[in-house]
Amino acid sequence: MYNQTIHSPDSASSDKSFSELVASEEERLRPMLLEQLMRELLIGGGDTNEILNIYCALFGADTRQPVRLAILKPTGAKDLEDFFFIKNTAQQYIGEENLIFVTVISDFVVLAVPDNGRAELIQVLEKIRCAVKRCYNYSLMTICSVKAQLDDLPETFERLRTCLGYSFYAENDRTVCESDIIINSDEITFRPDYNTVEQAVRGGDAEKTKLFVDCFFKRLKKTAPHPAVAKIYCLELYVSIARCCGDDKLDRYMRGVVDVQEAKTLSEIHKYILDKSLEIAKSNVSESKKVYSSLVRDTINSINDNIENENLSLRWLAGTILFTNVDYLGKLFKKETGKNFSYYVMEKRMEMAKALLLEGKKDRIYEIAETVGYGSNSQYFSQVFKKYTGVSPLEYKEYARSVREKKQSANNS
């Protein structure tokens, strides 16, 4: 026989306390449930309509409510605790009563607020950005959406993520709206001109160097290709400039490739490359005034004529073509050009290899290695090429292929 529960006079009050406990737990769990729903809604964790219906039923919301979404992406934050600080700061400045939700997705904080105008949201996002910088020393990249509705949030989120990448073109430490960012899908409109910059740097002309570098970045920003493509252009420019220094400084300047790769904005890269360009140009001032002797001119011409010969060396050239003392020729060549004979030859061969890859006339790396004087040693050629350009021949080949396809597409359109 089952035991029967005997209710004491305090049973009603006990039941009431339990109900209050359930209600209080529900209240405590509501923010967590809201975050989970919104996270699933934004990243596609379930049926969008079902999630919206659940959200509206639980929180009394209207899917047509006008809202604005914002993404806050910190530079340097790695731990969940870092994102908690940023999230907490956003809650404090916006206020719980004005916040639809705030959550962490991937490596940024996402929040939504009722639409009270673009200016008001940008103002409060600027306060959040400055507070995070002041208190936690994190730089925040902040971007807000145009006016949307709750049921538009997934599409709005994807647009903001795309715009976040293109904020590469925005200035540092500034909150932007997605309407301020131009996304250019036509990446073939930019035609980089590295030669003019390189000639100015080699010639030690600081005025022209600044003019041409500034012009390069002005055009790049105006055409605004995908940030990843823009960085390739910047890396190509930097490598071409770095090669203008003496071979004794090349390794030091080539390490700057990492700084260009890790830069977060175009303006940061612009400043870095301009500084290095002027630095190298200044060191080239005295070199640009030199006039080569007839022997060095003959040496340079002989190098050009025999660049494909894998036996090309200073000793071979001095003994079989120029008929002069090898030691004297080596010292004279270094004195007048500022470069060792071997480095000069390597540079010529690498430039020739780059041209062949860009033209696409030779498809295989070993064929290019043979053509530029490395014989059958394609592995050594690849090592030298990567050290010289910053990328492997295969990576450069892929880049060259995409450039040719874009040019072909432009010609056909």
Tell me the CATH number at 160: 3.30.70.270
**Given this model, what pLDDT does residue 342 score?**
92
Q: Are residues 90 and 205 in the same domain?
A: no
Q: Are residues 103 and 129 in the same domain?
A: yes
Q: Are residues 280 and 308 in the same domain?
A: no
Residues 361-377, mean pLDDT to the nearest whole number? 87
Residue 216: is its pLDDT beyond 50? Answer: yes
Q: Are residues 249 and 298 in the same domain?
A: no
Of 128, 154, 180, the one marking the end of a domain is 180
Residue 24 lies in a domain: no
Q: Are residues 52 and 130 in the same domain?
A: yes
Q: Which residues pair with 143 in a beta bridge?
A: 71, 176
Residues 190-217, mean pLDDT to the nearest whole number? 86
Q: From CA 39, how far away is CA 29, in angstroms rounded?
A: 15
Q: Which of 240-254, 311-325, 373-387 has the lowest mean pLDDT?
A: 240-254
Residues 277-297, mean pLDDT to the nearest whole number? 78
Residues 31-51, mean pLDDT to the nearest whole number? 80
Pick the more confident residue, 109 or 358: 109
Residue 18 lies in a domain: no
Q: What is the mean pLDDT of the chain?
A: 82
Query: How far lies 155's CA from each of 71, 152, 262, in Å?
Result: 14, 6, 29
Pick the more confident residue, 167 or 348: 348
Q: From CA 410, how far away is CA 190, in angstroms rounded?
A: 11
Residues 347-368, mean pLDDT to the nearest whole number? 84
| Residue 370 pLDDT level (bands cut at 50, 70, 90) | very high
Q: Are residues 279 and 345 in the same domain?
A: no
Percent of the chain with pLDDT over 90: 27
Structure tokens at 61: 């919301």
Choose among 307, 408, 404: nearest CA to 363: 404
Pick the more confident residue, 182 or 137: 137
**Given this model, what pLDDT does residue 185 score?**
58
**Given this model, what pLDDT does residue 409 score?**
65
Looking at the structure of the chain, the number of domains it has is 3
Q: Are residues 191 and 174 in the same domain?
A: no
Q: Are residues 104 and 61 in the same domain?
A: yes
**Given this model, what pLDDT does residue 161 score?**
86
Residue 2 lies in a domain: no
Of 288, 319, 334, the one marking the end of a domain is 288
Query: How far lies 226's CA from each of 6, 24, 129, 184, 233, in Å?
Result: 74, 50, 26, 7, 11
Query: Which CATH number is 325's domain given?
Result: 1.10.10.60
Residue 378 lies in a domain: yes
Q: Are residues 123 and 227 in the same domain?
A: no
- Segment 131-161, tens digit of pLDDT: 988 888 888 888 899 999 988 888 999 888 8
**Given this model, what pLDDT does residue 124 score?**
92
pTM (2 d.p.): 0.50
**Given this model, what pLDDT does residue 23 score?**
44
Most confident of 5-9, 161-165, 187-191, 297-301: 297-301
- Segment 77-108, tens digit of pLDDT: 667 788 888 899 999 999 888 888 899 888 88
Residue 19 lies in a domain: no
**Given this model, what pLDDT does residue 345 score?**
93
Q: Are residues 175 and 212 in the same domain?
A: no
**Contact present, 297 and 228 (Cβ < 8 Å):** no
Pick the more confident residue, 143 or 193: 143
**Given this model, what pLDDT does residue 75 score?**
75
Q: From CA 305, how far away is CA 314, in angstroms rounded?
A: 14
Residue 25 lies in a domain: no
Q: Are residues 141 and 98 in the same domain?
A: yes
**Given this model, what pLDDT does residue 379 score?**
92
**Contact present, 146 and 177 (Cβ < 8 Å):** yes
Residues 361-378, mean pLDDT to the nearest whole number? 87
Residue 8 lies in a domain: no
E strand residue ranges, 122-264:
139-144, 148-149, 176-177
Q: Write out the residue range of the structural domain in which residue 363 sits.
A: 294-412
Amino acid at 194: Y
Of 288, 306, 328, the one marking the end of a domain is 288
Residue 363 lies in a domain: yes
| Residue 54 pLDDT level (bands cut at 50, 70, 90) | confident
The neighbour count for residue 35, using CB atoms within 10 Å, is 16
**Given this model, what pLDDT does residue 196 score?**
83
Q: Are residues 52 and 172 in the same domain?
A: yes
